[in-house]
Amino acid sequence: MTVSMPLYLILIPYAIFLLGFAFFSFFAIYHLIRFGFRSFSNFLMMFIFLGVSVIILFISYEMIAGINWFNEINILELGGASQFF
């Protein structure tokens, strides 16, 4: 008997992380626009932040897109006492 888990369960913490990142990014950009000085440096920082975020998300998507998420990982194989001899 084997104990296994599907790979797509790994995507759940990843999706929670992405939602948290989107939530905090939204408020960071909101505060930059609302309370930041309307200057070139403010827009430059927003552009750099958004650009790096998009690049990281694109690379992340490219890396996970080619994986078959319905494969299973064997965590534990239970075979009784014969597996030790």
**Residue at 56: amino acid letter:** I
* CA-closest candidate to residue 18, choices 50, 69, 70, 60: 60
pLDDT tens-place string over residues 25-79 = 999 888 888 887 778 888 888 899 999 999 999 999 999 998 998 999 888 877 6
**What pTM does this model have?**
0.71
Q: Does residue 83 have a pLDDT over 80?
A: no
Bigger pLDDT: 42 vs 16:
16
Query: What is the model's pLDDT at position 58?
Result: 95
